[in-house]
Amino acid sequence: MNQLTHNLVDNEASDRNLTQQLSKAQDDIKQNNVSTTRLLRNQSMELEMLRRQSGKDRSRIQQLNGSLTQEIRGIKEQIASKSNHHAFTAGISSYNNDWTGDTLVFPVVIYSDGTGYNPSTGIFTAPTAGLYVFYVSVQSYYQKSIWLDIVLNGSSKVTAMAYYMYESDSSIAIYQTGTNLVILHL
């Protein structure tokens, strides 16, 4: 019986030891559950903060993208308007001393880029709003002086004058050239 008692004592000691180990393992599991729950709660809160921030960032990116698209559109329009140039050079190909009237028509178009000048009427109509540069050069000829105005809507902006002078005592005829330039916003 001694052996049986001894085995019983050993088994009880082993049971206590196992019970203590089981109790410690249960406490460790509870502690791990508490730590895991706390960690999971913290990560969930952090994930929710990141979702909110991501939504704000997405909204800001969409707003910036819209602004950038609008700026690009504006730049493209500026480029398109800059490439829409209008220029012309016109003149008279032969001598004419019959000119009288309100509008001197330059029927010979030497260069034309874009639209605006009508060689039949001598009138330039601005196809787009902007700054326009007009230059005029005239020369007196055969006992005639000339005054030429650049006119905007009936109002003279600049005048070019060229006088004819003849000195009878030296038989010298002096033909002068008159020029002028004006920049107008049309």
Domain boundaries, the chain: 1-83, 87-185
- In terms of DSSP H, where are the helices of the chain? 2-82
Q: What is the pLDDT of residue 82?
A: 64
Q: What is the pLDDT of residue 97?
A: 67
In angstroms, the CA 82 to CA 75 distance is 10
Q: What is the pLDDT of residue 76?
A: 84
Q: Model-level pTM?
A: 0.53
Q: What is the per-residue pLDDT across 12-46, written as a single tens digit (0 to 9) for each?
A: 888 888 889 888 889 889 999 989 999 999 999 99
Q: What mean pLDDT, rounded, does the chain reach?
A: 86
Q: Is 138 exposed, middle or buried (0-12, 13-18, 19+ CB in 10 A)?
A: buried
Quick one: which of 164, 132, 134 has its CA closest to 147? 164
The CATH architecture to which 87-185 belongs is Sandwich (2.60)
